[in-house]
Structure 1
Amino acid sequence: PGATGFAICLEEIPMAAPGSATTMTTTRFRRPTLDCAVVNAKAGCLYPNNARMLAEARAKGFGNALVADALGNVAETATANVFIVKDGEFFTPIANGTFLAGLTRKRHISNLTAAGYKVHEAVLSFEDVRQADEVFLSGNMMKVTPVKAFDDVQYPAGPLTAKVREIYWDWAHSAA
């Protein structure tokens, strides 16, 4: 009595319709490092920084913010992990202790590898994202969210992003 050991907040948010996409821009805010924040967990203390990132992106007319780590490399977005597709191969930022490498991200890596695709965890620059053939976000809430634009770079509704979604939902509906 007199102390809270656990608290939970629930919010009803519908799944995005297949084919819906988002846009991204850069943000002046960066992901913190493990020595100064709990970046390796879904920690409430991180959400205010994420909210600043989203507010800045939305004020610029975009749906999400592509966020840098402390060294200026791509980490994730304000709300999800990020993947790019280049020349038929998948790339996602290497887990470097500045962001939560999510379970859905890990599931996509596993599913894609099992399906015979090459998946690279690598240091990615903002220029790598600009030069990508396709970009999508990966998160527990929406599973796969295609990105149709990053600043002034436009991306098509890509076939490999659609394949990721298909593979994921086949796995989710399987007995595995």
Structure 2
Amino acid sequence: MAVDTSPRSTTWTFVDGEWVTGNPPLIGPTSHAMWLGTTVFDGARWFDGIAPDLDLHCQRVNRSALALGLEPVVTADDIEGLAWEGVKKFDGQTAVYIKPMYWAEHGMPGSVVAADPTSTRFALCLFEAPMNTAEPSSLTVSPYRRPSPEVAVTTAKTGSLYPNSGRMILEARARGFDNALAKDMNGNVAETASSNIFMVKDGVVFTPLANGTFLAGITRSRVLHLLRRAGLDVRETTLTVEDFLSADEIFTSGNYSKIVPVIRLDDRQLQVGPVAKKALEVYMDWAHGNGSDF
């Protein structure tokens, strides 16, 4: 039987000491990752000749590996160096997604379920992906919730958490929305199905307090810092759906698209507001080297 391993865009992957093009078949049916979901990854962006916070993303994938019981077999510095090497393989016209990954091949001796850290494998995948920055989005409150740290490895950016995000998005799109607003197990807003979220009320910027139920992203932290430095009052606190329904402005942050304004939350219509525009402005200004670091 023929297997289609062609990627949807130009793709290069570094694995087992070499760069290969396309979509290499790396995980088999007996791999622990295939069978029991032991994968972690991270995602950085290259665009306009820059890769903002690439070092932090490379550091985080190694922390995610440890959180899932894997062994980070490549240093963060080496991952960063490989990423810059890989970027040179593209034509420089389209934004690139940079995705370092770890996974387990085998279970621990005497235990099928637990991953054997000594079987950890590494790959670095880069592929072309347009940014879609600032393209407005619509949200609906999801009937599904984010897990708590007691029931899932929420401290890792692990593939095993994403089927829950996927069903949130599928359910939301079936009702005519782009994405879903996700609550935590206590019923408070956590994030969207695929990004962190901010709201603005009476000139104050709010974002859900990092409580272990969602990944408080690198771009989120960067935006928090930059908006505060720009003189805005930015607060991390517990927020409800009702808070968002009464907000003057809503926007999301994430590595994939950076800043995305929200123009609809269920039956509530919103405008692209000045804070979302400011967030994108200060982020891009910093990213292109016109601002100081943390």
Residues 11 and 134 of structure 1, relative CA distance in 2, 3 Å threshold: same
Say which SS state the counterpart of residue 5 (structure 1) adopts.
strand
RMSD: 1.7
* Equivalent in the alignment of 1:127: 242
- For residues 127 and 204 of structure 2, the distance between their equivalents in structure 1, rounded to whole angstroms, comes to 35
* Equivalent in the alignment of 1:113: 228
Shift of 1:13: 2.4
* Equivalent in the alignment of 1:159: 274
TM-score by length of structure 2 reads 0.57
Q: Deviations over 1:15-60 (max 9, x none)?
A: 1154x20000011110001111111221111110000000000001
Structure 2 counterpart of 1:136, one-letter code: F
Say which SS state the counterpart of residue 168 (structure 1) adopts.
helix
- For residues 123 and 217 of structure 2, the distance between their equivalents in structure 1, rounded to whole angstroms, comes to 21
- For residues 133 and 219 of structure 2, the distance between their equivalents in structure 1, rounded to whole angstroms, comes to 18
Say which SS state the counterpart of residue 144 (structure 1) adopts.
strand
- For residues 161 and 5 of structure 1, the distance between their equivalents in structure 2, rounded to whole angstroms, comes to 39
Structure 2 counterpart of 1:16, one-letter code: N
* Equivalent in the alignment of 1:100: 215
Pick aligned residue for 2:130 from 5, 9, 14? 14
Pick aligned residue for 1:84 from 153, 176, 199? 199
Give unmatched runs, 5+ long, in structure 1: none
Give the structure with higher Rg (CA). Answer: 2
Say which SS state the counterpart of residue 180 (structure 2) adopts.
strand
- For residues 7 and 115 of structure 1, the distance between their equivalents in structure 2, rounded to whole angstroms, comes to 38
- For residues 186 and 213 of structure 2, the distance between their equivalents in structure 1, rounded to whole angstroms, comes to 10
- C-alpha contact (below 8 Å) 2:146/2:213 kept by paired residues: yes
Structure 1 counterpart of 2:122, one-letter code: F
Residues 9 and 51 of structure 1, relative CA distance in 2, 3 Å threshold: farther
Shift of 1:12: 3.4
* Equivalent in the alignment of 1:170: 285
- For residues 13 and 77 of structure 1, the distance between their equivalents in structure 2, rounded to whole angstroms, comes to 21
Say which SS state the counterpart of residue 100 (structure 1) adopts.
coil
Shift of 1:62: 0.1
Give unmatched runs, 5+ long, in structure 2: 1-15, 17-30, 32-104, 106-119
- For residues 172 and 14 of structure 1, the distance between their equivalents in structure 2, rounded to whole angstroms, comes to 17
Say which SS state the counterpart of residue 161 (structure 2) adopts.
helix
Identity percentage of aligned residues: 51
Say which SS state the counterpart of residue 173 (structure 2) adopts.
helix
Residues 110 and 29 of structure 1, relative CA distance in 2, 3 Å threshold: same
Structure 1 counterpart of 2:277, one-letter code: A
* Equivalent in the alignment of 1:36: 151
Structure 1 counterpart of 2:144, one-letter code: F
* Equivalent in the alignment of 2:176: 61
Residues 11 and 69 of structure 1, relative CA distance in 2, 3 Å threshold: farther
TM-score by length of structure 1 reads 0.94
Higher relative contact order (CA 8 A, sep 6+): 1
Moved over 6 A (4+): none
Residues 7 and 34 of structure 1, relative CA distance in 2, 3 Å threshold: farther
